[in-house]
């Protein structure tokens, strides 16, 4: 018997994985990142086939991991996690620093740049193995864990994330107001209907009008 | 420039990965575990070539992941992380439940059993890709993160862990008393020399006499 709720106890960070689309930077949100070897240092990252970033990493053979901190702007998750880099330049308006030609989120607590040295294909995701060519700490802040994002920021998973299914298992008990763009669930004390009209989604910054009532 | 301190901001859980050595259960501590696909569910785990568990997973094609919680006995990390399953039966005296023939830690907050469907070799570690065949929640407790283990439990990494190098970067400022078995660093208010003779390492439960002074 597979009780998928057990998967929710596995711990992850929250990362923006970026690469190049020609000369343009692009990227997506990822949780599935882990160090594999220490000398030389290698990192594995799992990216859904459906993510535009996957095909771009395939082409350039290079990726950056920006490690988000608890203080990082959670709007980054909406920007990078809930729209496609095929259609928009996700780095528009995002403060970035370029390292080894790849754009890194300036608001992250650290970054790691890798060149792809191997990969493993699965049904839906590619696990890229990257050798680290550059890495540094940007801010002395606690790294954001997925549990923190879920519990404190009240965030949801993009639908391509392996963690997505686990959340579907949650029971919906009462009517909720959910952002139609990023899935953020409003749970403030003020009833949603009474919020000012200039209320915006704290995650993806979309207006109040994109919220939908879910029974 | 590779500043390895950046690697320390990547988030991990704390897991016991177990398998069979013939009819006998064996296992080791791992941090590098991540879900890859959701349907069918697959999990990747990275195990050092030097760990006896690696060759046993290779033979049986099966592994279990016990997800430790913040309340799990941290002595498990000493038992499974700082000795070899070749020499001792690590499950001796450990409360376990058998699932799909593999022993799982009863004191974990959940477990996942996988059959190996693919693997990726690196210089020092094998990344096993396992399809989940059984999974369940055992306790409603917060999962232990590596950061929690490091900050709250004051634990160290086994030397085969990829996270090990990152800790070596820490500056040693003053003389410390360190457990010669598991590497636990004593940092209580009472000077180490004044501790009672029946003091035992809070991690691996070894006696005071195994502690060494490190300058």
Query: What are the φ and ψ backbone dihedral angles of A133, each rounded to 5 degrees?
Result: -115, -15
Pair A62, A102: CB distance under 8 Å? yes
- Two tokens, residue A45: 């990252």
Show me where the domains of chain A are located: 12-149, 175-215
For the segment A97-111, what is each residue's pLDDT rounded down to a tens digit? 999 999 999 999 999
The sheet with strand A62-67 has its strands ordered as: A24-30, A15-21, A62-67, A110-121, A125-137, A41-48, A33-38
Contact between residue A65 and residue B9 where contact means Cβ atoms under 8 Å apart: no
Instruction: For residues B132 and B120, give the distance between their C-alpha atoms in angstroms, rounded to a whole number.
Output: 18
Residue B75 has pLDDT above 90, yes or no: no
Tokens of B191: 């000077």
Q: Which residue of B has its CA nearest to A11?
A: B13
Per-residue pLDDT tens for B144-161?
A: 999 888 888 776 666 666
How is domain B171-214 classified at the architecture level of CATH? Single Sheet (2.20)
A106 closest CA partner among A145, A64, A60, A78: A64
pTM reported for the whole predicted model: 0.77
A64-100 confidence digits (pLDDT tens): 999 999 999 988 988 898 778 888 899 999 999 999 9
Residues of A within 8 A of B158 (CB-CB) are: none
Cα-based distances in Å from B36 to A12, A85, B127, B132: 12, 22, 12, 11
What is the distance between the alpha carbons of residues B142 and B140, in angstroms, rounded to a whole number?
7
Strand order in the sheet with B110-121: B24-30, B15-21, B62-67, B110-121, B125-137, B41-48, B33-38
Residue B114 distance to chain A (closest CA, Å): 11
Mean pLDDT of B71-78: 89
pLDDT-derived band of residue B162, with 50, 70 and 90 as boundaries? low
Among candidates A118, A136, A162 on the partner chain, residue whose Cβ is nearest the Cβ of B6: A136
Name which of B35, B147, B163 is nearest A10 (Cβ-Cβ).
B35
Q: For A34, which of B10, B112, B119 is closest by C-beta distance?
A: B10
Report yes or no: A107 at the B interface, CB cutoff 8 Å. no
Is the per-residue pLDDT at B203 higher than 80?
no
Nearest Cα residue in chain B from A159: B38
Q: Please tell us whether the domain made up of A175-215 is placed in CATH 2.20.28.10.
A: yes
At residue B211, the pLDDT reads: 86
For domain B12-149, is the CATH number 1.10.8.60?
no
pLDDT surpasses 70 at B66: yes
Helix (H) or strand (E) holding A120, with range, is strand A110-121
Give every CB contact of residue A142 below 8 A, 6+ residues apart in sequence.
Answer: A69, A70, A109, B147
Query: Which two tokens mark A126?
Result: 């590619």
Nearest CB to A38: which of B112, B132, B165? B165
Whether residue B164 is predicted with pLDDT greater than 50 in this model: the reply is yes
Rama region for A205: left / alpha / beta (φ>0; ψ in -120 to 50; rest): left
For residues B16 and B38, which has the higher predicted lDDT (pLDDT)? B16
How far is B165 from B156, CA to CA, in rounded Å? 11
Using CA atoms, how far residue A51 sits from A47, A89, A123, A155, in Å, is 7, 14, 14, 19
User: Helices marked H in chain A — which ranges?
Assistant: 52-60, 75-81, 146-151, 164-168
Q: Label residue B71 by pLDDT band (50, 70, 90).
A: very high
Contact A127 B6 (CB under 8 A): no
Question: Which of A8, A9, A131, A164 to mutate against chain B (most B CBs within 10 Å)?
Answer: A9
Query: Cα–Cα distances in Å, from A90 out to A56, A96, A105, A189, B210?
Result: 14, 11, 11, 32, 55
A33–B38: do the CB atoms touch at under 8 Å? no
Strand partners, A144: none
- Tens digits of residue pLDDT in A151-175: 887 766 666 666 654 443 333 345 6
Q: Is the pLDDT of residue A33 over 90?
A: yes
Domains B12-149 and B171-214 share a fold: no
Determine how many CB atoms are found less than 10 A away from the CB of residue A7.
23
Q: pLDDT digit string (tens) for B90-131?
A: 999 999 999 999 999 999 999 999 999 999 999 899 999 999
pLDDT of residue B91: 95
């Amino acid at each position: 018997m597979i009780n998928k709720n057990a998967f929710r106890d596995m711990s992850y960070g929250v990362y923006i994985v970026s690469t190049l689309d020609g000369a343009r930077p692009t990227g997506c949100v990822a949780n599935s990142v882990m160090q594999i070897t220490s000398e030389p240092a290698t990192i594995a990252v799992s990216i859904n086939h459906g993510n535009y970033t996957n095909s771009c990493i395939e082409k350039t053979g290079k990726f950056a991991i920006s490690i988000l901190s608890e203080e990082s702007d959670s709007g980054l998750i909406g920007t990078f996690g809930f729209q496609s880099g095929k259609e928009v330049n996700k780095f528009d308006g995002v403060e970035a620093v370029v390292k080894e030609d790849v754009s890194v989120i300036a608001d992250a607590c650290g970054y790691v740049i890798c060149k792809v040295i191997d990969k493993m294909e699965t049904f839906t995701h590619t696990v890229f193995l990257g050798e680290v060519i550059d890495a540094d700490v940007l801010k002395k802040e606690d790294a954001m864990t997925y549990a923190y994002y879920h519990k404190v920021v009240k965030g949801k998973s993009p639908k391509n994330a392996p963690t997505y299914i686990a959340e579907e298992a949650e029971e919906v008990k009462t009517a909720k107001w959910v952002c139609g763009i990023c899935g953020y669930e409003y749970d403030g004390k003020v009833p949603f209907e009474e919020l000012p009209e200039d209320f915006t989604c704290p995650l993806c910054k979309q207006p109040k009008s994109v919220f939908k009532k879910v029974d």
